[in-house]
Amino acid sequence: MPTQADRLMDVAIRRSFLIPSAEIYGSPAGFYDYGAVGSQIKRKIENLWRQEFLQKEGFHEIETSVIVPEAVLKASGHAENFADPLVTCESCRQKFRADHLIGENRQAKKDGVKTAGLPPAELSALIRKYGILCPQCKKPALSDVGWFNMMFRTNIGPIEGNTAYFRPETAQGIFMDFPRIIRNYGGKLPIGIGQVGKSARNEISPRQGLIRMREFTQMELEYFFNPRQQTHPKFAKVAHRKVRFVEGAVPPREITLVEALSAGLVPNEIMAYFLWKQWEFYRMVGIPPDKMYFRKMPPEETPHYSKGNVDLEVVTSYGSIETVGTAYRTDYDLSQHMKHSKADLSVFDEETRQKVVPHVVEPSMGVDRLFWCVLEHTFREKSAGKDWEWFDFPPCIAPYHAWVFPLMKKDGLDEKAQAVEEQLREAGLSVCYQESGSIGRRYARADEIGVPYCITIDYETMEKNDVTVRFRNDGRQIRVKISELAEKIAQFAKEGRVTLN
Ligand code: GAP
């Protein structure tokens, strides 16, 4: 029996949102391509992030190498610590993540066993205690647990030993480029530097589609600040806004950001401000507020570099999924790189006339997990009004602004429709011309990939130079002059309008 997630993945593949990578060679687990429709949505999500987290904040975007020399990742701690617990079946030689096997065991679940942060010896003991069998061959043949480093290793050039890795996070490139960027912008703190790009982790058991992949896209922001100034100039504006927060096993509760701060759920105003930005961003892309919440990470789950982590989790058919991790990385990375490279990464603070090693708050968002959450929360079943499944994407991330149709492929309607399409493209809108099938079928196809507006050129157009614009969610239509069309469509999209009224 296919699960809800299987069903949605099937829809996503059929409608050109996603394509399993290297499909004709059997699709290795953990890799997905974005199809012609999916890549437009993904790019719009990334560009909206650029707008909200960089452009509106006056921050800088960079693009750093994905292949990173070993020295960088030794200094950051990844070469030593970026590992997952691995167990091998000594009978069938299959390999599994030890913590996942324990987490999935019914009795261990009942006993409330937590595996985060446990050393291999304790994980091995739990496997024995619960008599966990190999999930593949069902034999009691699981080995002792060991560590498996998750980085993809390679060699720079032909000389063996010149080791490098595919970056496991985009953040380290930002730390590498930090000294040049801050110098270019007057050496003043605070400064925000972000990037959108691929990271790779050689996950032991990639699963749940886009949730645990081996290659994925991150949108990361590093906000560098003077540790003596843990305030944010815009925090006052959002201090009394409400978000949902969970700590420990209790259900999420509504809380203002200032309350979260005084309850110690968030380490400083800076992080609280960026949590609010995330909350708003998630709402903009279509995640309902009652399906998401922040979670303060318990110390045993907090990464080695962080003095406080808060995750943004979304409820999905796979369960609750961490989709953003925000960490107070302190001066951990810059200090480590200073120690290992001997470069001076400190900044001279004009006010105190002292050198400081900046601290960092890092909101790190995974695009693919968010993409999946958007699909889950915007997918609509057939209903009385629509005899097809469709997507209720907010126009700001819909794959096209509009589809353009001639009512008939004759009497000059098709040429006129192509001219309208061209005009809209020239005005910077993403549109697609469709002439095959009945009008009803074309509306259905547009709805199926979440296009918010359909524009039809009919016989009246030839007389009055106006067209019909159909709104996706209620199917109602208005007539708009061709001379005003581009401006109107852009305006509807900006307002997020998906119904006539
Ligand atoms: N620089 C910090 C960092 O990378 P992380 O919590 O490991 O932190 C941040 O990753 C985000 O990247 C996650 O919240 C998630 O959205 C995404 N991510 C991490 N591993 C992933 C994977 N294997 N597949 C898909 N997305 C992943």
Q: Which of 481, 496, 485, 491 is nearest to 425 (CA)?
A: 485
Is the residue at 161 inside a domain?
no
Ligand 1 binding pocket includes 325 (Cβ within 6 Å): yes
Same domain flag for 218 and 269: yes
332 is written with which tokens?
């951990």
Range of the domain at 425: 383-495
261 inside domain: yes
Is 466 touching ligand 1 by the criterion CB < 6 Å? no
Average of per-residue pLDDT across 260-273: 96
Per-residue pLDDT of 52-81, as tens digits, reads: 999 999 999 999 999 999 999 999 999 999
Instruction: Clarify whether residues 133 and 281 are in a common domain.
Output: no
Whether 426 is in a domain gets the answer: yes
DSSP string computed for 430-461? -EEE--SS-HHHHHHHHHHTT--EEEEE-HHH
CATH of the domain at 471: 3.40.50.800
3-state DSSP of 328-361: EEECHHHHHHHHHHCCCCCEEECCCCEEECCEEE
- Could you say which of 348, 377, 406 is where a domain stops? 377
CB 216 less than 6 A from any atom of ligand 1 = yes
Ligand 1 centroid–CA 367 distance in Å is: 9
400 and 429 in a single domain? The answer is yes
Q: What is the pLDDT of residue 116?
A: 87
Q: Cα(315)–Cα(293) distance, rounded to whole angstroms?
A: 9
Condensed to tens digits (0 to 9), the pLDDT of residues 75-86 reads 999 999 999 999
- 73 inside domain: no
pLDDT at position 316 is 97
Predicted confidence (pLDDT) per residue in 84-123, tens digit: 999 999 999 999 999 999 999 999 999 999 998 899 999 9
Q: Would the CB of 324 count as within 6 Å of ligand 1? A: yes
Q: Which of 167, 205, 282, 369 to mutate to test the pocket of ligand 1 (most atoms within 8 A of CB)?
A: 369
Q: What is the pLDDT of residue 350?
A: 81
Q: pLDDT band at 300, cuts 50/70/90?
A: confident
pTM: 0.95
| Four-point Cα dihedral 90, 92, 94, 98, nearest 10 | -40
If you measure from the C-alpha of residue 169 to the centroid of ligand 1, how many angstroms do you get, rounded to a whole number?
8
How does residue 280 score in pLDDT terms, banded at 50, 70 and 90?
very high
- Best of 68, 166, 218 to mutate for ligand 1, by most ligand atoms within 8 A of CB? 218
Domain count, the chain: 3
Ligand 1 near 68 CB (within 6 A)? no
SS3 471: strand
In a domain, 402, yes or no: yes
Please indicate, yes or no, whether residues 392 and 371 belong to a single structural domain of this protein.
no
pLDDT (tens digit per residue) in 409-431: 999 999 999 999 999 999 999 99
Region 360-367: mean pLDDT is 98
Say which range, 193-197, 330-334, 350-354, 396-400, has the weakest mean pLDDT: 350-354
Q: Whose CA is nearest to atom 26 of ligand 1?
A: 366
Q: Any idea which residue has 């099938």 for tokens?
A: 437
On whether both 131 and 175 belong to a single domain, the answer is no
What's the CATH number where 112 sits?
Answer: 3.30.40.230
Give the up-direction half-sphere exposure of residue 281: CA atoms within 13 A in the CB hemisphere. 27
| Residue 76 beta carbon below 6 angstroms from any ligand 1 atom | no
pLDDT at position 326: 97
377, 393, 409 - which closes a domain: 377
| 140 and 206 belong to one structural domain | no
CA distances from 312 to 16, 222, 327 (A): 28, 17, 11
pLDDT for position 203: 94
CATH code: domain of residue 201: 3.30.930.10
Residues 195, 296, single domain; the answer is yes
* Dihedral sign computed on CA atoms, order 30, 32, 38, 40: positive
88 and 272 Cβ atoms separated by less than 8 Å: no
Out of 64, 216, 295, give the residue to mutate to test ligand 1, the one with the largest number of ligand atoms within 8 Å of its CB: 216
Residue type, 44: K
The answer as to whether 99 is a domain residue is yes
Q: Is 158 a member of any domain? A: no
The answer on 55 and 199 residing in a single domain is yes
Q: Are 338 and 359 members of one domain?
A: yes
Structure token digits, residue 14: 């059929």
The percent of residues above 90 in pLDDT, for the chain, comes to 93
pLDDT of 475 higher than 90: yes
With a cut of 90, say whether residue 317 has pLDDT above it: yes
Position 208 in a domain: yes
| % of the chain surpassing 70 pLDDT | 100
The pLDDT, as a whole number, for residue 474 is: 96
* pLDDT at res. 351: 78
Tell me what pLDDT residue 299 has: 85
Which residue, of 377, 404, 421, is where some domain finishes? 377
Residues 369, 464, single domain; the answer is: no
CA 373 to chain centre: 9
Residue type for 415, please?
E
- Say whether both 136 and 222 belong to one domain: no
- Ligand 1 atom closest to the Cα of residue 214 is 23
Domain co-membership, 333 together with 470: no
